[in-house]
Structure 1
Amino acid sequence: MKSIAGELIIGLCAIAVCLLAAPVASATPTTGVEATTLAETTVAGTHYILRELTLQPGATTGWHYHDGPLYAIVRNGILSHYDSSCAVDGSHGPGHTIIEPSGPGYIHIGRNQGSQPVVLDVLYMLPVGAPPSEDVPNPGCPFK
Protein backbone atom coordinates (compact mmCIF):
# COMPACT_ATOMS: atom_id res chain seq x y z
CA MET A 1 0.00 0.00 0.00
CA LYS A 2 2.83 2.44 0.76
CA SER A 3 4.11 2.06 -2.80
CA ILE A 4 0.68 2.83 -4.26
CA ALA A 5 0.32 5.91 -2.03
CA GLY A 6 3.77 7.15 -3.08
CA GLU A 7 2.97 6.63 -6.75
CA LEU A 8 -0.34 8.47 -6.29
CA ILE A 9 1.41 11.48 -4.71
CA ILE A 10 4.03 11.53 -7.48
CA GLY A 11 1.31 11.22 -10.13
CA LEU A 12 -0.69 14.10 -8.64
CA CYS A 13 2.41 16.31 -8.52
CA ALA A 14 3.23 15.49 -12.16
CA ILE A 15 -0.35 16.31 -13.21
CA ALA A 16 -0.22 19.62 -11.33
CA VAL A 17 3.04 20.51 -13.10
CA CYS A 18 1.51 19.69 -16.49
CA LEU A 19 -1.59 21.76 -15.78
CA LEU A 20 0.34 24.80 -14.53
CA ALA A 21 3.37 24.47 -16.90
CA ALA A 22 6.42 26.93 -17.23
CA PRO A 23 10.85 27.11 -16.04
CA VAL A 24 16.52 23.98 -7.36
CA ALA A 25 18.76 21.02 -5.07
CA SER A 26 21.89 20.37 -2.76
CA ALA A 27 25.27 21.90 -3.79
CA THR A 28 28.48 23.88 -3.10
CA PRO A 29 27.77 25.04 -0.41
CA THR A 30 24.13 24.57 0.47
CA THR A 31 23.16 26.91 3.28
CA GLY A 32 19.79 27.37 4.97
CA VAL A 33 18.01 24.65 2.95
CA GLU A 34 15.87 21.93 4.55
CA ALA A 35 14.71 18.94 2.47
CA THR A 36 11.97 16.52 3.48
CA THR A 37 11.33 13.46 1.33
CA LEU A 38 7.58 13.01 0.91
CA ALA A 39 7.62 9.96 -1.38
CA GLU A 40 9.92 7.94 -3.59
CA THR A 41 9.62 5.00 -5.92
CA THR A 42 11.43 3.39 -8.84
CA VAL A 43 9.64 2.55 -12.08
CA ALA A 44 11.31 1.13 -15.21
CA GLY A 45 14.83 2.33 -14.30
CA THR A 46 13.79 5.82 -13.19
CA HIS A 47 13.93 6.83 -9.53
CA TYR A 48 11.21 9.36 -8.63
CA ILE A 49 11.72 11.46 -5.50
CA LEU A 50 9.13 13.96 -4.28
CA ARG A 51 10.57 16.42 -1.75
CA GLU A 52 9.57 19.56 0.03
CA LEU A 53 12.44 22.06 0.03
CA THR A 54 12.45 25.07 2.33
CA LEU A 55 14.99 27.83 1.74
CA GLN A 56 15.22 30.27 4.63
CA PRO A 57 15.87 33.97 3.85
CA GLY A 58 19.45 34.24 2.57
CA ALA A 59 19.60 30.52 1.74
CA THR A 60 21.26 29.10 -1.36
CA THR A 61 21.15 25.69 -3.04
CA GLY A 62 24.76 26.07 -4.11
CA TRP A 63 25.92 25.48 -7.69
CA HIS A 64 24.77 22.14 -9.08
CA TYR A 65 23.09 20.21 -11.88
CA HIS A 66 20.78 17.18 -11.96
CA ASP A 67 21.25 13.79 -13.68
CA GLY A 68 17.56 13.78 -14.63
CA PRO A 69 14.87 16.42 -15.16
CA LEU A 70 13.36 18.24 -12.22
CA TYR A 71 9.85 19.69 -11.88
CA ALA A 72 8.90 22.03 -9.04
CA ILE A 73 6.02 24.17 -7.83
CA VAL A 74 6.65 27.24 -5.64
CA ARG A 75 4.29 27.29 -2.67
CA ASN A 76 5.71 30.28 -0.80
CA GLY A 77 8.28 33.04 -1.25
CA ILE A 78 10.28 34.02 -4.33
CA LEU A 79 13.11 31.87 -5.67
CA SER A 80 15.82 33.65 -7.67
CA HIS A 81 17.35 31.23 -10.19
CA TYR A 82 20.73 31.88 -11.84
CA ASP A 83 22.48 30.12 -14.73
CA SER A 84 26.23 29.55 -15.06
CA SER A 85 26.74 32.93 -16.79
CA CYS A 86 25.65 34.56 -13.48
CA ALA A 87 22.46 35.87 -15.12
CA VAL A 88 19.04 35.56 -13.49
CA ASP A 89 17.18 33.04 -15.63
CA GLY A 90 14.04 33.13 -13.49
CA SER A 91 12.30 34.70 -10.55
CA HIS A 92 9.61 32.31 -9.32
CA GLY A 93 6.82 33.16 -6.88
CA PRO A 94 3.85 31.23 -5.47
CA GLY A 95 2.10 29.10 -8.09
CA HIS A 96 5.00 29.21 -10.55
CA THR A 97 6.35 25.99 -11.92
CA ILE A 98 10.02 25.35 -12.55
CA ILE A 99 11.32 22.86 -15.09
CA GLU A 100 15.05 22.13 -15.02
CA PRO A 101 16.71 20.07 -17.74
CA SER A 102 19.34 17.52 -16.81
CA GLY A 103 23.07 17.28 -17.29
CA PRO A 104 26.30 19.18 -16.64
CA GLY A 105 25.40 21.62 -19.43
CA TYR A 106 22.74 23.11 -17.12
CA ILE A 107 24.63 24.34 -14.06
CA HIS A 108 22.57 26.64 -11.86
CA ILE A 109 21.88 27.95 -8.37
CA GLY A 110 18.69 28.87 -6.50
CA ARG A 111 18.74 31.68 -3.94
CA ASN A 112 16.22 33.11 -1.51
CA GLN A 113 16.92 36.82 -1.55
CA GLY A 114 13.58 37.68 0.08
CA SER A 115 12.44 38.08 3.66
CA GLN A 116 10.21 34.99 3.89
CA PRO A 117 10.98 31.28 3.41
CA VAL A 118 10.76 29.81 -0.08
CA VAL A 119 8.86 26.51 -0.04
CA LEU A 120 8.98 24.23 -3.09
CA ASP A 121 7.46 20.86 -3.96
CA VAL A 122 10.09 19.20 -6.13
CA LEU A 123 9.85 16.05 -8.25
CA TYR A 124 13.20 14.56 -9.27
CA MET A 125 13.24 11.96 -12.11
CA LEU A 126 16.67 10.37 -11.83
CA PRO A 127 18.58 7.36 -13.09
CA VAL A 128 18.67 4.69 -10.37
CA GLY A 129 21.54 5.42 -7.98
CA ALA A 130 21.95 9.09 -8.94
CA PRO A 131 21.84 11.71 -6.18
CA PRO A 132 19.22 14.49 -6.30
CA SER A 133 21.95 16.92 -7.41
CA GLU A 134 25.61 16.96 -8.41
CA ASP A 135 27.75 19.60 -6.70
CA VAL A 136 29.94 21.79 -8.93
CA PRO A 137 32.31 24.69 -8.26
CA ASN A 138 31.13 28.27 -8.59
CA PRO A 139 31.52 29.09 -12.31
CA GLY A 140 33.03 32.45 -11.41
CA CYS A 141 30.02 34.42 -10.20
CA PRO A 142 30.57 37.08 -7.52
CA PHE A 143 28.11 35.29 -5.21
CA LYS A 144 27.89 31.74 -3.88
Structure 2
Amino acid sequence: MGQTRRRCATVPALAALLMAAPGGASATPGAGVDAVTLSDSTADNSHYVAKLLTIAPGGGTGWHFHPGDVFGVVRSGTLTHYAADCSVDGMYPAGSTITERSGPGYVHAGRNEGPDPLVMWVLYVNPVLDPADPVGVPLVVDAADPGCPMPGSG
Protein backbone atom coordinates (compact mmCIF):
# COMPACT_ATOMS: atom_id res chain seq x y z
CA MET A 1 0.00 0.00 0.00
CA GLY A 2 3.06 2.25 -0.09
CA GLN A 3 2.97 3.36 3.54
CA THR A 4 5.96 3.03 5.82
CA ARG A 5 5.33 0.62 8.66
CA ARG A 6 8.73 0.89 10.32
CA ARG A 7 12.22 2.13 9.68
CA CYS A 8 15.26 -0.02 10.36
CA ALA A 9 18.13 1.60 12.25
CA THR A 10 20.83 0.49 9.83
CA VAL A 11 21.00 -1.06 6.39
CA PRO A 12 23.46 -3.79 7.52
CA ALA A 13 21.05 -4.80 10.28
CA LEU A 14 18.22 -5.07 7.73
CA ALA A 15 20.37 -7.08 5.33
CA ALA A 16 21.35 -9.48 8.12
CA LEU A 17 17.71 -9.83 9.13
CA LEU A 18 16.63 -10.60 5.58
CA MET A 19 19.28 -13.20 4.95
CA ALA A 20 19.03 -14.89 8.37
CA ALA A 21 15.25 -15.02 8.61
CA PRO A 22 13.70 -18.47 8.52
CA GLY A 23 11.29 -19.57 6.12
CA GLY A 24 8.20 -3.80 -7.86
CA ALA A 25 8.13 -5.27 -6.83
CA SER A 26 5.42 -5.33 -9.37
CA ALA A 27 6.54 -3.76 -12.65
CA THR A 28 3.72 -4.62 -15.01
CA PRO A 29 0.64 -4.69 -12.79
CA GLY A 30 -0.08 -8.24 -11.84
CA ALA A 31 -3.20 -9.50 -10.18
CA GLY A 32 -3.09 -9.72 -6.41
CA VAL A 33 0.25 -8.01 -5.72
CA ASP A 34 0.58 -5.82 -2.62
CA ALA A 35 3.87 -4.13 -1.66
CA VAL A 36 4.53 -2.32 1.61
CA THR A 37 7.75 -0.31 2.03
CA LEU A 38 9.52 -1.24 5.27
CA SER A 39 12.63 0.89 4.86
CA ASP A 40 14.06 3.36 2.34
CA SER A 41 17.54 4.84 2.73
CA THR A 42 20.65 5.89 0.86
CA ALA A 43 24.25 5.26 1.95
CA ASP A 44 27.64 4.76 0.29
CA ASN A 45 26.34 5.55 -3.23
CA SER A 46 23.58 2.94 -2.98
CA HIS A 47 19.82 3.25 -2.54
CA TYR A 48 18.34 0.53 -0.28
CA VAL A 49 14.63 -0.26 -0.26
CA ALA A 50 13.12 -3.10 1.76
CA LYS A 51 9.58 -4.23 0.96
CA LEU A 52 7.11 -6.77 2.22
CA LEU A 53 5.45 -8.32 -0.83
CA THR A 54 2.24 -10.32 -0.70
CA ILE A 55 0.99 -12.08 -3.81
CA ALA A 56 -2.47 -13.65 -3.73
CA PRO A 57 -3.02 -17.17 -5.08
CA GLY A 58 -3.00 -16.97 -8.88
CA GLY A 59 -1.30 -13.57 -8.82
CA GLY A 60 2.03 -12.50 -10.22
CA THR A 61 4.49 -9.65 -10.68
CA GLY A 62 4.32 -9.25 -14.44
CA TRP A 63 7.38 -9.23 -16.71
CA HIS A 64 10.19 -6.95 -15.57
CA PHE A 65 13.87 -6.59 -14.78
CA HIS A 66 15.81 -4.82 -12.03
CA PRO A 67 18.51 -2.16 -12.59
CA GLY A 68 20.16 -3.15 -9.28
CA ASP A 69 20.62 -6.15 -7.03
CA VAL A 70 17.65 -7.92 -5.42
CA PHE A 71 17.69 -10.24 -2.40
CA GLY A 72 14.60 -11.96 -1.01
CA VAL A 73 13.35 -14.35 1.64
CA VAL A 74 10.13 -16.31 1.13
CA ARG A 75 8.22 -16.13 4.44
CA SER A 76 5.18 -18.21 3.40
CA GLY A 77 3.77 -19.77 0.27
CA THR A 78 5.84 -20.68 -2.79
CA LEU A 79 7.30 -18.39 -5.45
CA THR A 80 7.39 -19.78 -8.99
CA HIS A 81 10.02 -17.83 -10.94
CA TYR A 82 9.89 -17.66 -14.76
CA ALA A 83 12.72 -16.73 -17.15
CA ALA A 84 12.05 -14.92 -20.44
CA ASP A 85 12.53 -18.20 -22.36
CA CYS A 86 9.31 -19.40 -20.66
CA SER A 87 11.10 -21.90 -18.41
CA VAL A 88 10.55 -22.12 -14.68
CA ASP A 89 14.01 -21.20 -13.42
CA GLY A 90 13.18 -21.65 -9.74
CA MET A 91 10.61 -22.77 -7.20
CA TYR A 92 11.09 -21.14 -3.79
CA PRO A 93 9.08 -22.49 -0.82
CA ALA A 94 8.88 -20.85 2.61
CA GLY A 95 12.34 -20.38 4.11
CA SER A 96 14.07 -20.07 0.72
CA THR A 97 16.28 -17.17 -0.24
CA ILE A 98 16.48 -15.76 -3.75
CA THR A 99 18.95 -13.44 -5.45
CA GLU A 100 18.06 -11.99 -8.84
CA ARG A 101 20.48 -10.84 -11.50
CA SER A 102 20.17 -7.27 -12.70
CA GLY A 103 19.79 -5.64 -16.09
CA PRO A 104 17.63 -5.90 -19.19
CA GLY A 105 19.23 -9.24 -20.10
CA TYR A 106 17.40 -10.86 -17.18
CA VAL A 107 13.68 -10.33 -17.82
CA HIS A 108 11.59 -12.49 -15.52
CA ALA A 109 8.27 -12.84 -13.71
CA GLY A 110 7.27 -14.23 -10.33
CA ARG A 111 3.98 -15.99 -9.65
CA ASN A 112 2.07 -17.53 -6.80
CA GLU A 113 0.64 -20.73 -8.24
CA GLY A 114 -0.22 -22.20 -4.84
CA PRO A 115 -3.42 -22.09 -2.77
CA ASP A 116 -2.07 -19.74 -0.06
CA PRO A 117 -0.77 -16.15 -0.12
CA LEU A 118 2.92 -15.78 -0.99
CA VAL A 119 4.70 -13.44 1.43
CA MET A 120 8.28 -12.27 0.83
CA TRP A 121 10.75 -9.81 2.27
CA VAL A 122 12.69 -8.19 -0.57
CA LEU A 123 15.73 -5.89 -0.43
CA TYR A 124 16.52 -3.79 -3.53
CA VAL A 125 20.02 -2.28 -3.80
CA ASN A 126 20.34 0.26 -6.62
CA PRO A 127 23.34 2.35 -7.60
CA VAL A 128 23.10 6.10 -7.05
CA LEU A 129 23.95 7.60 -10.43
CA ASP A 130 23.28 11.23 -9.50
CA PRO A 131 23.97 12.43 -5.92
CA ALA A 132 21.35 15.16 -6.47
CA ASP A 133 18.74 12.44 -7.15
CA PRO A 134 19.72 9.39 -5.05
CA VAL A 135 16.42 7.59 -5.70
CA GLY A 136 16.33 8.27 -9.45
CA VAL A 137 16.93 4.66 -10.54
CA PRO A 138 13.66 2.65 -10.51
CA LEU A 139 13.42 -0.58 -8.52
CA VAL A 140 11.79 -2.38 -11.45
CA VAL A 141 11.50 -1.71 -15.17
CA ASP A 142 8.54 -3.01 -17.21
CA ALA A 143 9.28 -5.55 -19.91
CA ALA A 144 7.11 -6.95 -22.67
CA ASP A 145 5.50 -10.34 -22.16
CA PRO A 146 7.74 -12.72 -24.15
CA GLY A 147 4.67 -14.79 -25.04
CA CYS A 148 5.01 -17.47 -22.40
CA PRO A 149 1.92 -19.66 -21.92
CA MET A 150 1.89 -19.46 -18.12
CA PRO A 151 -1.13 -18.93 -15.88
CA GLY A 152 -2.24 -15.29 -15.96
CA SER A 153 0.26 -14.30 -18.68
CA GLY A 154 -0.59 -11.70 -21.26
Task: Report the TM-score, using the length of structure 1 for normalisation.
Answer: 0.87
More strand by share: 1
Deviation at 1:97, TM superposition (A): 0.2
Moved over 3 A (4+): 16-20
**1:58-97 correspondence runs (5 A):** 58-97=58-97
2:64 and 2:108 in contact (8 A); partners too: yes
Q: Equivalents in 2 of 1:36, 1:54: separation in Å?
A: 9
For residues 24-56 of structure 1, what are the alpha-carbon distances to aligned partners after superposition, in whole Å with 9 as ceiling and x for unaligned?
Answer: 721223221000000010012211000000000
Aligned length: 136
Match among 135, 145, 148 for residue 141 of structure 1: 148
Q: What is residue 14 of structure 1 aligned with on the other side?
A: 15
Larger RCO, structures 1/2 (Cα 8 Å, 6+ apart): 1
More helix by share: 1
Structure 2: unaligned runs, 5 residues or longer: 1-6, 128-133
Q: Relative to structure 2, which stretch is displaced further, 127-136 or 81-90? A: 127-136
1:31 and 1:60 in contact (8 A); partners too: yes
Task: Report the TM-score, using the length of structure 2 for normalisation.
Answer: 0.81
Deviation at 1:75, TM superposition (A): 0.2
Q: Equivalents in 2 of 1:13, 1:41: separation in Å?
A: 11
Q: What is residue 130 of structure 1 aligned with on the other side?
A: 137
Q: Equivalents in 2 of 1:70, 1:7: separation in Å?
A: 20
Residue 130 to residue 142, structure 1, CA distance change in 2 (3 Å): same
Q: Equivalents in 1 of 2:9, 2:30: separation in Å?
A: 29
**1:42-57 correspondence runs (5 A):** 42-57=42-57
For 1:6, what is the secondary structure of its paired residue?
A: coil
Residue 12 to residue 95, structure 1, CA distance change in 2 (3 Å): farther
> What is the root-mean-square deviation of aligned Cα atoms in Å?
1.7
Aligned AA (1:132): L
Deviation at 1:139, TM superposition (A): 1.1
For 1:12, what is the secondary structure of its paired residue?
A: helix
For 1:39, what is the secondary structure of its paired residue?
A: strand
2:18 and 2:121 in contact (8 A); partners too: no
Q: Equivalents in 2 of 1:46, 1:85: separation in Å?
A: 31
Is 1:107 aligned to 2:146, yes or no? no
Structure 1: unaligned runs, 5 residues or longer: none
